[in-house]
Amino acid sequence: MECVLVLVYTVDMKLSQLRALIAIADSGSFSEAALELGMSQSSISEALSALETHLQSSLVERGRFGARLTPLGEQVVIHARSALAAIDSIEQEVSFSRGSIQGILKISTFRSIASQLIPPVMAQLKQQHPKLQLELLECIICEKEDLLRPIYDGTADLAFLPHCESSEFMSWEIMEDPYMVLVPDALVQGDRIHPADLLNQPLIVSKGGDCTNRIMQYLSDHQIAPTEVIKVHDDFTMYNMVAQNLGMCLSPRLAIDYVPRGATMLPLASPLHRYINLAVRQGGLRTPAVRHFIRELKNLLPDSKLPHLDLVPELPRETQF
């Protein structure tokens, strides 16, 4: 007689408890977490208490200034995000087997990518899979660390970022974005800007970020000293200041959504480029929405280094994490 051993696992942690913990971590408040999840504040508190009782550990410190994760709570949230991402992947695989993709695709990005690249890709995806939702985690300043943080903590499935390499995640270079110069019409003297043309001119730049660092290095390499460096938060403010003859600005071509009246966009005679990468969270290629997004992005940017992915659920061994 063949004996079959059946193991039955009882999981005391509930998905609702993990979602409550993540919502508290993201909002820093029990009341805001309740609003986000459509629950009462008392239900959020009870869910967290039940989770802490099960783990026999404190995960959140409650104080007059809100809720803050304990060191252990920060680690538990990382695993909780991974667990919920795995559940979402299961649901996506099942819906994909029936011919559609549901769920939420979360992308860490910055303004120029969010406005220029993501809309046409998502338009194609939504035609095929109308129930697929998109959530953009937009960084105000284009910093690699800020853009990658959602990948590390499991908040995002994909991240667009300036070129970087790491053994902790997979990434591919998707495009080369040349820098252009916005020049007041009164100062236009040719069809391109030479380094010498930037001498003795005010320069308008964004406050901090990868682009500003790259621009300042470019000026240093060409021994260019602007008469003044004006730092602003918003790109559109920068462009309009150029139109008012307050200075010139260097900006990636993809970031220049419009050229205001009174300004002209010209290329650099001595080129400067930024390279944009797409990174995927660990295990992300197993998720149908991620694979489909990469496929549509590859269609949009055929010369990119993105892989040609099979869209079937089972991926080749070498592309798995």
CA 191/CA 179 separation, integer angstroms: 15
Reported as a pLDDT band with limits 50, 70 and 90, residue 121 is very high
pLDDT in tens, 147-174: 988 888 778 999 999 887 666 788 999 9
209-217 CB contacts, 8 Å cutoff, 24+ apart: 209/141, 209/142, 209/143, 210/142, 210/143, 210/144, 210/162, 210/274, 211/142, 211/251, 211/252, 211/255, 211/274, 214/272, 214/274, 215/179, 215/250, 215/272
The contacts of residue 226 (CB under 8 Å, 6+ apart) are 198, 200, 201, 202, 203, 219, 247
| Residue with the larger pLDDT of the pair 281 and 6 | 281
Reported as a pLDDT band with limits 50, 70 and 90, residue 41 is confident
What pLDDT is stored for residue 120 in this prediction? 95
Reported as a pLDDT band with limits 50, 70 and 90, residue 33 is confident
What pLDDT is stored for residue 5 in this prediction? 38
**Is residue 219 scored above 80 in pLDDT?**
yes
What pLDDT is stored for residue 93 in this prediction? 63
**Is residue 221 scored above 80 in pLDDT?**
yes
The contacts of residue 182 (CB under 8 Å, 6+ apart) are 238, 239, 242, 248, 249, 251, 256, 259, 263, 264, 265
What pLDDT is stored for residue 75 in this prediction? 87
Q: What is the mean pLDDT of residues 61-89?
A: 82
What pLDDT is stored for residue 119 in this prediction? 94
**Is residue 313 scored above 80 in pLDDT?**
no
pLDDT cut 70: percent of the chain above it? 88
Q: What angle do CA 177, 181, 184 make, to 5 degrees?
A: 155
**Mean pLDDT score of the chain:** 84
**Is residue 9 scored above 80 in pLDDT?**
no
pLDDT in tens, 272-306: 999 999 999 888 888 888 999 999 999 999 999 99
What pLDDT is stored for residue 100 in this prediction? 65
Q: What is the mean pLDDT of residues 225-243?
A: 90
What pLDDT is stored for residue 12 in this prediction? 56
Q: Per mean pLDDT, which range of 10-24, 134-148, 273-287 is the poorest?
A: 10-24
The contacts of residue 98 (CB under 8 Å, 6+ apart) are none
Reported as a pLDDT band with limits 50, 70 and 90, residue 184 is very high
Reported as a pLDDT band with limits 50, 70 and 90, residue 239 is very high
What pLDDT is stored for residue 10 in this prediction? 38
Domains for the chain: give ranges and CATH numbers.
15-75 (1.10.10.10), 93-175+275-319 (3.40.190.10), 177-272 (3.40.190.10)
What pLDDT is stored for residue 317 in this prediction? 41
Reported as a pLDDT band with limits 50, 70 and 90, residue 245 is very high
Residue 135, strand partner residues: 106
Q: What is the mean pLDDT of residues 32-51?
A: 87
Pair 289, 101: CB distance under 8 Å: yes
